[in-house]
Amino acid sequence: MIGEGTAGAARLIVADAHPVVRRAVRISCDALPGLEVVGEADTGSALLAVCQELRPDVAVLDIALPDGMEAIRGLNDRQLVDIVVVLTDLTDGPSVMEALRLGVEGYLVKSSALPTVGKQIRRVLDGERVISPEVQRIAVRELGAFARMAREGSEVRATLTPREHEVLMLISAGLTMRQMAKRLGISPRTVETHMAKLYRKLDVRTRVQAVSRAVSLGLIELR
């Protein structure tokens, strides 16, 4: 699987559940000078392992893989590649927004982009952010809700004390009041006071509501 490599060619890894898609990407890229597929993976975790080993320049992956989105986070956190390109048929609003928030350089839809995928990746390598037109429309639709969430979230967040924020994190991690008290080195009674204030600021009454509101405001992320 390891290619010898033309000097200076951009090295790609393709992750997709379907061999036929991986093959299509390989054929499309190999037809172009300066692009070379050096490895393949069929899951997100396999992609991380292959990238760790081969250190490619570009990872092309389908976020419909069960651990696809997680793999992008892993690639980012461990700085394994310079460029991440999503090649998928998954175009629901939340997936599109999440991928864009993770800073992917390309978001290509298989059904329209697969025949020219090599050329699209070439454009990304030339510094363009390439997003399929149908995805752009979806992203714009989601953008308003995202901006609103970011605005409201930061307004609420600014009102929380560091302690209340800590308590919020622990609530979302599922700790009991007693466990929180122990973790923070304060009495359960004090935790209760922090929680009451937190609930008031979030405008909620229960733990579940607190977590769901905090998620919708982007204060915490459930992975």
Q: Which residue has the tokens 């605005």?
A: 151
DSSP class of residue 116 equals G
Residue 82 found at the interface with other proteins (CB under 8 A): no
115 lines the binding site for other proteins (CB under 8 A):
no
| The binder of other proteins chosen from 53, 92, 128, 203 (CB under 8 A) | 128
Nearer to other proteins by C-beta: 107 or 199?
107
CA 9 – CA 153 distance, rounded (Å): 44
Scanning 3-11, 82-90, 110-118, 145-153 for contacts with other proteins by CB under 8 A, the matching segment is: 145-153
In this structure, are residues 16 and 42 in contact, taking their beta carbons and an 8 Å threshold? yes
Q: Residue 89: phi, psi to the nearest 5?
A: -110, 5
Nearer CB in complex with other proteins: 144/185: 144
Candidates 154, 176, 187, 216; binder of other proteins (CB under 8 A) is 154
- The tokens for 130 are 């390439």
* Per-residue DSSP letter, 206: S
Least distance (Å) between residue 65 CB and other proteins: 21
* Whether the Cβ atoms of residue 29 and residue 36 lie closer than 8 Å to each other: yes
Which of these segments, 32-40, 54-62, 104-112, 175-183, binds other proteins (CB under 8 A)? 104-112
Query: Minimum CB separation from other proteins for residue 129, in Å?
Result: 5
Which region among 23-31, 48-56, 148-156, 189-197 touches other proteins (by CB under 8 A)? 148-156
Question: Who's near 35: CB < 8 A, 6+ residues apart?
Answer: 9, 10, 12, 29, 118, 121, 122, 125
CA distance 195 to 49: 42
Which residues lie near other proteins (CB under 8 A)? 97, 100-101, 103-105, 107, 128-131, 133, 136, 139-144, 146-148, 150-151, 153-154, 157-158, 218
